[in-house]
Chains A and B, each alone.
Chain A
Amino acid sequence: MTKAPDETGIAPQACRLETGGHIDRDRTLRFRFDGRTLTGHPGDTLASALLANGVRLVARSFKYHTPRGILAEGAEDPSGLVALGRGARHEPNTRATMTTLTDGLEARSQNAWPSLRWDAAALMRPLSAFMPVGFYYKTFQWPPQVWPLAEPVLRRMAGLGTSPRQPDPDTYEHRTAHCDVLVVGAGPAGLMAAWAALAAGARVILADERASLGGCLLKERTVLNDAPAADWVQTVLGELTSDSRVTVLPATTVTGQHDHGFWLAAERIYDRPDTDPAAAGPRQRLWHIRAKQTVLATGAIERPLVFAGNDRPGVMLAGSVRAYLNQYAVAPGHKAVVFASHDEGYRTALDLVAAGIPVAAVVDPRADVRGPLPDRVRALGVPVRDGYVIGDTRGTASGGLSAVSVHRYRTGGDMVSVGEWLDIDLLATSGGWNPTLHLHAHTGARPIWDAETLAFQPDPDRGPAWLAGACGGLKPLDAVLLSGREAGRGAAEAAGLRLPEGGSPCPTVAPDDPAQATAGTRRAALWAVPKPAVANGKRFVDLQSDVTVEDVALAHREGLESVEHLKRYTALGMGTDQGKTSNVTGLTLLAAARHQPIPEVGTTTFRAPYTPITLGALAGTATGEQFAPVRRSPLHDVQAEAGAVFQATGLWLRPRFFPRDGETLAEAVQREVRTTRERVGMVDVSFLGKIDIQGPDAAEFLNRVYVNGWTGLPVGKVRYGLMLREDGMVLDDGTTARLAEDHFAMTTTTANAGRVMEHLEHALQVYWPELDVRLVSTTDAWAAIALAGPRSRQLLTFVTDLDVSNDALPFMGVATGDVCGIPARVFRISFSGELAYEINVPAGYGETLWRRLSQAGSALGLTPYGSEALGVMRIEKGHVAGPELDGRTTPHDLGLGRMVSTKKSFIGHRLLERPALTDPDRPRLVGLVPEDGRTRLLAGSQIIAVEHAGAPPPIPRLGHISSACSGPSVGHPVALGFLTGGLEQWADQTVLVTYPLKGTQVRARVVPPQFYDPEGSRQNA
C-alpha cells in the first residue's frame, strides 16, 4: 500500500520531521486540497498534514479577504476553516485542526475567487482603512432603496462558506446513556479522574473531542514513570477499555451542559481512528448523557498576543507549535521567533531547538526575566530579548510570514519605537491561558476574573461539576494528575460509591519537566502591542470575524459600552469559534477603553453548543418518514384499495378524494358531493376525537365545560356543544351523546382532540376534584363511518335490524345495536346537511364495516367521499370548523350566542361577559357570494369597502374570508367570513373581497351563512 512519494509523482511531505510524533509512518494516506494531491499519515489531522506539506495559506478572511493560515491545533482555531467533500456531502466551515485525515479526503479553501492565491476581493484591501466596523450598515442603509440592491453583493463578499443544496446522504443517530461519573476530557486530569472513579466501581463515560486521547501528554515531550507519557496513556486507556463499566468516546465533543446532570455529546464516528470507512454506518451519533456526577477536565485554551500583522499564515500559538512538533512530527516553519508574555513561551523555544529548528529570538515584554526555563533557553545560545515586543510583520507574495520587527517595550506608550527586522517564517506567540470553562458556565455559573493569573476562574458558588486539571486553574503537571485523581474519587463517592484504599496511582513526573516549572511564574498583562507609526498589517483581536483593536475602540466611542453590545456590533466572538481565542482579549480592551477593571465589564454568556454541531446529528433518525409519527385510521388500507388520495392533516393521513377514471381533484369532489346530496355517500370520520365520560357527576361536569346545558339531555339523545377557554374564546365544538344517566360519549374536532382531553383533565383535577367523573380518550378505539344522503336510511335498513325510522331514531338521536353483524353505536347527526348516520364500531371491525357497507350500497349508487367533499358540504351548510374556530372567536361571533346558557356557570363564562367581546362591531360570521355568480372567493382574502377599490394602501379592513368553495350544490361559489358589524350591518350589501398577493378584487354580496337547505328539512327527513 505504501509507496514512496517519488514513485507516484506526488510531492514529498517537505516539512515532516525525520523522527518522532504519534503518527503511523508505515501507512500513507492521500488527500486533496484545492485540487492538489498531497499525502499524510494515520494520526494526522488535516491541519497537520497540510503543514507537513508546507501548505500555510488555507483560507481568506471573512471581511478583508486577507490570507489566513492555521493559528492553533485544536477546536479553538479561528482561521483554518475549509470545505470538505463534494456535492451533497459538501460541508463548509470545517476546522482543519479537528478533521481526522482519511484516505481520499477532499478539502477546499473558502472565501476566495478565482483562487486562494489571487483573490479578487482582496483588491479592496487598500480601501480597508475606510471600512471600519459597521461600515456596510452605515453606508448602504441610506437611502432605503439602496440596501436591497447592496445586500446580496455584500453578503457574498463578507461571509463564510456555502451550504450544500442537496439532501444529506449520510445517516445519524441518537443514543441515551446513564452513568455514575461522566469525565469530559481525556488529558492527564481526565484520565486520572476516569481511572480513579472506575477503581471505586463507578460506571464511567470518558469523552474527548480529539480522535487521539491523551491531551497535552501527546503534545508535549513529557516523561511519566521514566517512560514517554504516551506509554502511560496507553496503559490507563487499556485499564479503562477492558472494563465493561467504562465507555470511552474519542472524537466526541461534549457540547453542552443542561439541567440536572444532562449532557449532550456529538460523536464524530467518521473521525474516530477505529472506524472502518468502508463499513456503512451513521456518520455521527448524538449522545444524551444523564450523569450522576461529572468531572470537567477540559484544560485551557491559549490566548494569542495582538500586534500589527498578527494574522499572517506562520503566526501560531506557542502551545500549538509544540503540538505540531511533538504529536505530528511537523515543522511549522524553518526559522522561528517566540513571542510570549510568560514562561510557557520558553518551552516552545526548547522544543523548536530540539526539533532542529533555529530560534532567532525569544521576545518577552517582561524585563529582567530569570527562571529555570529562560535560563535553559539562554544556555542553548538562543537570544532572549526581555523587555521587547513584536510590533509588526511582513509577508511573502503568497501571504506567508517572512519577517517580524522587534521593538523595545515601554509600558503605557502609544507607539513602539523603530524596530529591528528579523527574517523568519514562524512566529510562536502566547499571551497566557484561559481555562476552558464553557461547559462549567452553561447552567448559569459566572466565571470570576483573577488578576493574579490574568484569566477567568470557575465560579465557586455555581456549577455542579468537579473541575480537574487546567480548567480549574493552571498548575504543575503533578498537581494536575493529582487533581484528576481527587475529582474522580470525589465524584464516585458523591455518586454513592465506596472508595477503595489505594488504586489508580498517580504517575511520577520528572522534576525537571518544563510542565512543572511554568505555573505560578510572573505574567505580563499585555493585551495589544501599540501600533508603530507605519504598520504593514492590522491588529486583529478576532481572526474569524475580522475584528481589530481599532474596531473595539471605535465601537466604544460610538457608545456601545456594554460587552453584549460590543459583541453584536463588531461580531467579536460571534463566529463559529465563538471567540475561543478572542473574547478575553476583546473584553480587556473594552475594559481599558472604559477605564474600568475587568470584573465590572463582565463577560458575555456562555451558551451551548461548545463547538458547532451538524444539523444532521441534531435530527438523528428523525428525517423523512421518521420525522414525525403517522396516524392512520383503521379504515386506511381499505380506502387506499378504493383509490383514496391521502393528505397529511396534522399527524393524520386522511383520504382527500377518491378519483375515478382520471378525474381531477375538482371533478372528483363535484361528483362525490353530487352523489351524496342526490343518493348516498360514506366518509371516514374515525379522525374525530372521542372521549368517554362516566360517573354520577358526568352531566354536571359537561354543564361546567360546555356553554350550553346538559343535565336535561335525555338518554339516547345527542347534543351539539361549544366549549370555551377561560378567556371566553371558543376552544372546540362537537357532539356529545348520552348513552346512560352516568355515561356520555363526547366527540371533538380532529385537530383539538388532545387539547380538549388535557383541558377536561385539568378542569377535573385542578378545579373540581370533588366531581365523581372519569375520562378516557377512545379516539383510537373506534372506527367511524358517516353515511350521508337521502338514501342513507334505506342503505342502513339493508344492514341492521335496528329501527332507524325517523320516529324511532330522529335527528340527534343515538341507538346501540348490530350493524352489518358488528356491535355498533349509530348516531343520527349530520355535518353535510343531509339525512345522515354516524356508525361507530370497535376499531378492529372498521374494515369489515366499510366493505359490507360498500357492497350493500352499490345498488343505491353509494360513493365514498373524502375530506374535500366533506369540507365543501359543511361550507354550503354553514357549519363552522377549524378556520372559524381560530382561537379569536366567541360564540356570538359565530352566530351561536343563543346557545350560551344564562342559568349556569361554565369555563369562560365570566370573561365572555367583557364588554369588548359583546361589542356589536366585532367581526362576526357572515356568508358571501360573488355578484357575478362565477368568480371563486379565496380563503384568506381580506374584505374591504367597495369605495376603496383601487385605493392606495393603507386600506381600512372590514374582515376576512375564512372558508370558501365552489358551491356545487347551490350553483355558485360561496364563502364564510368574518365581517365587522356582521349581518345586522351588511345583509344584502356589496363588499370587495381582495387578495393583494394575487392582485384580485371581487365584488361579493353579504348573505346569511347558510347556503344550502337553511331550514334543515333534509337532515330532519
Chain B
Amino acid sequence: MMLIPCPWCGPRPRVEFTYGGPDPSTHPRPADTAPLDVWTRYVYERDNPKGEARELWRHGAGCRQWFVVERDTVTHAVAASEPLPGVEDPR
C-alpha cells in the first residue's frame, strides 16, 4: 500500500487519502463564460498518463487538506508532494 507524504501530517498509508483528479494547475476549472465544449472537456475528459503524473489528493482521514502529489503511475513511486498554490508548505 502506497505511503503518501501529507505536507501537514507526514507519510500516511494510502487508505487515508482520496484521489481527486489531475493537478488543477494543469487541468484548471474553466471560467464561467468559457464555451460549453471547454467545460465538457474539463468535466469528462482526463488524461491517463503512463509514468510521471501530478495528481490532486486529499488527506480525508487526517487534516482534510487537498494537495498535489508527484507520482509515477507505473512504478507508484512518489517523488514529492506540495500544498496547493498560495498555501504555505508547513514543512
Tell me if A762 is interfacial: C-beta within 8 Å of chain B: yes
Partner of B39, one of A262, A767, A911: A911
A532 to chain B, nearest CB (A): 49
Q: Is A762's CB under 8 angstroms from B74's CB? A: no
B7 to chain A, nearest CB (A): 13
Q: How far is the CA of A769 from the CA of B42 in the complex (A)?
A: 20
Q: Is A910's CB under 8 angstroms from B32's CB? A: yes
Tell me if A828 is interfacial: C-beta within 8 Å of chain B: no
Q: Which residue of A lies closest to B2 (CB)?
A: A259
Please give, as numbers and ranges, the residues of chain A lying within 8 Å of B20 by CB-CB distance.
Answer: 762, 766
Q: Is B76's CB under 8 angstroms from A260's CB? A: yes
Q: How far is the CA of A766 from the CA of B13 in the complex (A)?
A: 23
Q: Is A911's CB under 8 angstroms from B40's CB? A: yes
Q: How far is the CA of A271 from the CA of B56 in the complex (A)?
A: 45
Tell me if A717 is interfacial: C-beta within 8 Å of chain B: no
Tell me if B66 is interfacial: C-beta within 8 Å of chain A: yes
Tell me if A726 is interfacial: C-beta within 8 Å of chain B: yes
State whether A444 and B75 are in contact (beta carbons under 8 Å apart), knowing that A260-B3, A766-B84, A913-B36 are contacts in the complex. yes
Q: Which residue of B lies closest to A775 (CB)?
A: B64
Please give, as numbers and ranges, the residues of chain B lying within 8 Å of A913 by CB-CB distance.
Answer: 36
The contact string, 1 if C-beta is below 8 Å from chain B, for chain A 35-76, is: 000000000000000000000000000000000000000000
B4 to chain A, nearest CB (A): 9
Chain A interface residue count, CB cutoff 8 Å, equals: 24
Q: Name B28-79 residues within 8 Å CB distance of A.
A: 29-30, 32, 34, 36, 39-40, 42-44, 56, 58, 60, 64-66, 74-76, 78
Q: Which residue of B lies closest to A757 (CB)?
A: B64
Q: Is A765's CB under 8 angstroms from B75's CB? A: no
Tell me if A727 is interfacial: C-beta within 8 Å of chain B: yes
Please give, as numbers and ranges, the residues of chain B lying within 8 Å of A762 by CB-CB distance.
Answer: 20, 58, 66
Q: Which residue of A lies closest to B67 (CB)?
A: A765
Please give, as numbers and ranges, the residues of chain A lying within 8 Å of B3 by CB-CB distance.
Answer: 259-262, 290
A949 to chain B, nearest CB (A): 40
Please give, as numbers and ranges, the residues of chain A lying within 8 Å of B60 by CB-CB distance.
Answer: 758
Tell me if B10 is interfacial: C-beta within 8 Å of chain A: no
Q: How far is the CA of A758 from the CA of B42 in the complex (A)?
A: 20
Tell me if A462 is interfacial: C-beta within 8 Å of chain B: yes
Tell me if B86 is interfacial: C-beta within 8 Å of chain A: yes
B63 to chain A, nearest CB (A): 11
Tell me if A905 is interfacial: C-beta within 8 Å of chain B: yes
Please give, as numbers and ranges, the residues of chain B lying within 8 Å of A262 by CB-CB distance.
Answer: 1-3, 13
Tell me if A922 is interfacial: C-beta within 8 Å of chain B: no
Q: How far is the CA of A911 from the CA of B36 in the complex (A)?
A: 7
Q: Is A765's CB under 8 angstroms from B84's CB? A: yes
Q: Which residue of A lies closest to B64 (CB)?
A: A761
Tell me if A909 is interfacial: C-beta within 8 Å of chain B: yes
Please give, as numbers and ranges, the residues of chain B lying within 8 Å of A462 by CB-CB distance.
Answer: 75
Q: Is A758's CB under 8 angstroms from B58's CB? A: yes
A756 to chain B, nearest CB (A): 14
Please give, as numbers and ranges, the residues of chain A lying within 8 Å of B84 by CB-CB distance.
Answer: 765-766, 769
Q: Is A910's CB under 8 angstroms from B36's CB? A: yes
A727 to chain B, nearest CB (A): 5
Please give, as numbers and ranges, the residues of chain A lying within 8 Å of B30 by CB-CB distance.
Answer: 910
Please give, as numbers and ranges, the residues of chain B lying within 8 Å of A261 by CB-CB distance.
Answer: 3
A981 to chain B, nearest CB (A): 25
Q: Is B1's CB under 8 angstroms from A914's CB? A: no
A755 to chain B, nearest CB (A): 11
A66 to chain B, nearest CB (A): 43
State whether A761 and B66 are in contact (beta carbons under 8 Å apart), knowing that A443-B76, A767-B29, A910-B39 are contacts in the complex. yes
Q: How far is the CA of A766 from the CA of B29 in the complex (A)?
A: 9
Q: Which residue of A lies closest to B29 (CB)?
A: A767
Q: How far is the CA of A788 from the CA of B86 in the complex (A)?
A: 48
Tell me if A258 is interfacial: C-beta within 8 Å of chain B: yes
Q: Is A766's CB under 8 angstroms from B76's CB? A: no
Please give, as numbers and ranges, the residues of chain A lying within 8 Å of B65 by CB-CB distance.
Answer: 765
A140 to chain B, nearest CB (A): 40
A94 to chain B, nearest CB (A): 29
Q: How far is the CA of A262 from the CA of B4 in the complex (A)?
A: 13
Q: How far is the CA of A762 from the CA of B24 in the complex (A)?
A: 11
B9 to chain A, nearest CB (A): 15
Please give, as numbers and ranges, the residues of chain A lying within 8 Å of B2 by CB-CB distance.
Answer: 259-260, 262
Please give, as numbers and ranges, the residues of chain A lying within 8 Å of B24 by CB-CB distance.
Answer: 766
B86 to chain A, nearest CB (A): 6
Q: Is B32's CB under 8 angstroms from A260's CB? A: no
Q: Is A769's CB under 8 angstroms from B36's CB? A: no
B48 to chain A, nearest CB (A): 17
Q: Is A260's CB under 8 angstroms from B66's CB? A: no
Partner of B76, one of A259, A765, A905, A909: A259
A174 to chain B, nearest CB (A): 13
Q: Is B66's CB under 8 angstroms from A766's CB? A: yes
B41 to chain A, nearest CB (A): 11
B40 to chain A, nearest CB (A): 7
The contact string, 1 if C-beta is below 8 Å from chain B, for chain A 236-278, is: 0000000000000000000000111110000000000000000
Please give, as numbers and ranges, the residues of chain A lying within 8 Å of B43 by CB-CB distance.
Answer: 726-727, 911
Q: Which residue of B lies closest to A765 (CB)?
A: B66
Q: How far is the CA of A765 from the CA of B20 in the complex (A)?
A: 12
Q: Is A905's CB under 8 angstroms from B32's CB? A: yes
The contact string, 1 if C-beta is below 8 Å from chain B, for chain A 675-695, is: 000000000000000000000
A264 to chain B, nearest CB (A): 9
A720 to chain B, nearest CB (A): 24
Q: Is A766's CB under 8 angstroms from B56's CB? A: yes
Q: How far is the CA of A969 from the CA of B78 in the complex (A)?
A: 61
Q: How far is the CA of A761 from the CA of B1 in the complex (A)?
A: 26
B42 to chain A, nearest CB (A): 8
Q: Which residue of B lies closest to A725 (CB)?
A: B43
Please give, as numbers and ranges, the residues of chain B lying within 8 Å of A726 by CB-CB distance.
Answer: 42-43
Q: How far is the CA of A767 from the CA of B40 in the complex (A)?
A: 17
Q: How far is the CA of A914 from the CA of B39 in the complex (A)?
A: 10
The contact string, 1 if C-beta is below 8 Å from chain B, for chain A 713-741, is: 00000000000001100000000000000
Please give, as numbers and ranges, the residues of chain B lying within 8 Å of A914 by CB-CB distance.
Answer: 36, 40
Q: Which residue of B lies closest to A909 (CB)?
A: B32
Please give, as numbers and ranges, the residues of chain A lying within 8 Å of B87 by CB-CB distance.
Answer: 769
B69 to chain A, nearest CB (A): 13
Q: How far is the CA of A44 from the CA of B83 in the complex (A)?
A: 58
A826 to chain B, nearest CB (A): 31
Q: How far is the CA of A259 from the CA of B18 in the complex (A)?
A: 16
Given contact pairs A259-B14, A766-B56, A911-B39, a sample of 20 additional A-B residue pairs in the complex whose CB atoms are under 8 Å apart: A258-B1, A259-B1, A290-B3, A443-B75, A444-B75, A758-B58, A761-B66, A765-B66, A766-B20, A766-B84, A767-B29, A769-B84, A769-B86, A769-B87, A910-B32, A910-B39, A911-B40, A911-B43, A913-B36, A914-B40
Chosen A-B contacts, 14 in total, with CB atoms closer than 8 Å, are A259-B76, A261-B3, A444-B75, A727-B43, A765-B65, A766-B56, A766-B66, A767-B29, A769-B87, A905-B32, A910-B30, A911-B40, A911-B43, A914-B36
Q: Which 5 A-B pairs have the closest CB atoms?
A: A905-B32, A262-B1, A910-B39, A260-B3, A259-B2
